[in-house]
Amino acid sequence: MSKKNLITRSLAVAAMLLAATATVPAAQAATPGTSAAPAARILIIDLRRAVAMSKVGQSIQQQVDGLKKQAQSQLNSEAESLKKDKAQLDAETAIMNASVKAQKENAWKARAMAFEKKVQERGGLIQGGMLKANQQVEEALGPILQGVMQERQATILLDRASVLLAPNAIDVTAVVVQRLDLKMPSVKVDLAPLPPALQQAAARQQAAQQ
């Protein structure tokens, strides 16, 4: 799951809250014969870039990269052992009878499948840890986005990735990055299981690839 998808809810909540509070005074002031309500004040943010540029976003990525390297280092020896045993098994096939050959091949396949499961489980734990960390960033971003909208008296906050053209929009990406850096410069990424729904989706995807 991408960081963008994890934090998009905060944008939606902030937009709805500010839209509701900002439109009430305008509606109360409007009377027959007066001019129309002022145009909406639009803010725009490059959410993907904001998280990537932030200290906490960079911290999460560095920790995830470290966890991947650690897992690779720990699993490499087992992978090399499987590779070596397979080469030896292939070399000895010619002198084995059918029963012994089938037995050894099945044993090697069982080991290979167990190793593949271990790799998938470790990957899932890393993804789960990243997801948990991103959820903490989302919680920190919500009040920041609402505060920026209130200060700018904005009614709408849009993600640049979903906007084709907004010439009058005010970009607040840099401001949000600065405030996120102050509020949450880092967050610890610990191995954590994925939510059951994501585990099932990953299992279905793996089964489809086999």
In the chain, the domains with their CATH numbers are: 3-23+40-71+130-209 (3.30.910)
DSSP string, 144-191: HHHHHHHHTT-SEEEEGGG-S--TTPEE-HHHHHHHHHHH-S------
Higher pLDDT, 12 or 58: 58
Which of 81-85, 138-142, 204-208 is predicted least confidently? 204-208
Give the pTM: 0.72
CB–CB of 47/157 below 8 Å?
A: no
| DSSP code, position 93 | G
**pLDDT tens digits, residue range 57-116?**
999 999 999 999 999 999 999 999 999 999 999 888 878 888 888 999 999 999 999 999
- Would you state the pLDDT for residue 82? 95
